[in-house]
Amino acid sequence: MRVVTGVVGNDVHVVANRLIEISLKERGFDVYNLGVNTYLEEFLDALIETDAELLLISSLNGEAEGWCRNLKALKSKYNFRSNPLFVIGGNLGVGEMDPDALIPKFKAYGFDLVYHQKDLNESLDEVEEVLKQRIEV
């Protein structure tokens, strides 16, 4: 199964990005890692070029809120052949914020699954489970 991953916005957390890539490969995914400092459009373009079934965006410095709020509008301009699952995880908020409000907020932006400060392996287990269910359906 193909996955496009990377770190969104002006965020250079390359170690976390590499760890995610390694974890995904260990689980048998074919990984297209766009690296750090990636624009939202580049993620969606990569889905078109690879037909990946999963987009996994990470964000460590809280910038995702600014960079991903147009996801829904942007998605509507694309015709994805693979019906990809949109996932975001990492440290999604900074400063004064309500952590409980983050997940619905990012879901409203257009993500299917949202993980804030959650263990990587636990999150990936859940992602795999959802992907499995999608295939069965």
Partner 1 sequence: MKIQNMPKVLFDVGSTYFKVYEEGQISHYFRDFTIPIYQDLKNKCHKTIESHTPEEIWICSSANGGLSTLIIGSSHSFSLKYTVNTAFNSGINIIDTMLYSDIDTANPPIEKIDVVIITGGIDGVKDIFDSRLFEYLKKVTYNHIVYAGSKDNIEYLSNHIENLVILDNILDNRLKINEKALKQYLTDLYQKDIMAREDIKPLYQITANQIYPTPYIVNLSLPYISESLDVADPFIVIDIGGATTDIHYSTDLINDNITGEGGYDRLVFKKLGVYKSRESLIFTAKRNEYVYELLNYLGVTEDIFDSNSKEAVKFLMQLAIFLVLYKVSRHHGEYIELKLDILNSVVLTGGISKVLSEEDAVIIVKFFYKKLLNFHNTPDIVIDRNYEIWTYGMKHLHKKDKT
Chain residues binding partner 1 by CB under 8 A are 32, 34-35, 37, 39, 41-42, 45-46, 48-51, 77-79, 81
Q: How far apart are the first and last CA of the chain?
A: 16
Q: Which is nearer to partner 1, 46 or 60 (CB)?
A: 46
Active site residue 100: no
Say which of 11, 30, 98, 112 is annotated catalytic.
11
Closest separation in Å from C-beta 131 to partner 1: 18
Specify whether the CB–CB gap between 112 and 130 falls below 8 A. yes
**What is the signed CA dihedral for 33, 39, 44, 45, rounded to 10 degrees?**
-80
Smallest distance from the beta carbon of 37 to partner 1, in angstroms? 7
Q: How far apart are CA 88 and CA 116, in angstroms?
A: 8
Smaller CB distance to partner 1: residue 26 or 119?
Answer: 26
Say whether 11 is catalytic. Answer: yes
Which CB, 78 or 108, lies closer to partner 1? 78
* Token representation of residue 111: 């993500």
Considering Cα of 17, then 18, then 19, then 21, what sign does the dihedral take?
positive
Give 77 or 136: the residue with its C-beta nearer to partner 1.
Answer: 77
Q: In this structure, how many other beta carbons lie within 10 angstroms of the beta carbon of residue 85?
A: 18
Q: In whole angstroms, how close is the CB of 47 to partner 1 at the nearest point?
A: 9
* Residues involved in catalysis: 11, 13
